[in-house]
Amino acid sequence: MIDAKFNIVDLAGSERQTKTGATGKRLEEANNINKSLTNLGIVIEKLAHNCVNKKNDFIPYRNSLLTHILSESLAGNSKTFMIAAISPADDNYEESLSTLRFAQRASLISTKTQKNVTAKEGYNK
């Protein structure tokens, strides 16, 4: 039996609060999203650093629920695909540049995947 996991994560929502005019619950939600994205950025940065420098430094997956959930997808026995969407509008320049930097760091991460096969009793090939 082969177990598989498929994650689809939409990381949109890290808009600048001054631009959106969010208040109350929406502002609180935006702050929580930004904290999770900051922690994801830290994890991506450390994973990329480890891959480039052939190191095995500590990765703080548990600093955020998002990074904890995505830990297997980011550096486990997995293949990861990322789409970075940017805006051509001038007023979104900073957000687009940040997205491109994030995607560039993520592209430095390399994993080695292998087939997970579990032998069962009484099962012969």
Single pTM value for the model: 0.77
Query: 10 Å Cβ neighbour count for 39?
Result: 19
Residue 125 lies in a domain: no
| Cα three-residue angle 44-52-105, rounded to 5 degrees | 35
Residue 115 lies in a domain: no
Reading the chain (125 residues) residue by residue, the pLDDT tens digits are: 556 778 888 877 556 667 777 788 888 888 888 888 899 999 999 999 999 998 889 999 999 999 998 888 888 788 888 888 888 999 889 888 988 998 999 999 888 777 777 666 555 55
Concatenated DSSP letters of 56-96: -----GGGSHHHHHHHHHHHSS-----------SGGGHHHH
Residue 119 lies in a domain: no
- Judged on CB neighbours under 10 Å (0-12, 13-18, 19+), 44 is buried
| Domain interval for residue 84 | 21-107
Residue 57 lies in a domain: yes
Number of domains in the chain: 1
Residue 31 lies in a domain: yes
Residue 123 lies in a domain: no
Residue 93 lies in a domain: yes
* Cα(72)–Cα(110) distance, integer angstroms: 13
Q: Are 19 and 99 in contact (CB under 8 A)?
A: no
Residue 56's CATH number:
1.20.58.980
Residue 5 lies in a domain: no
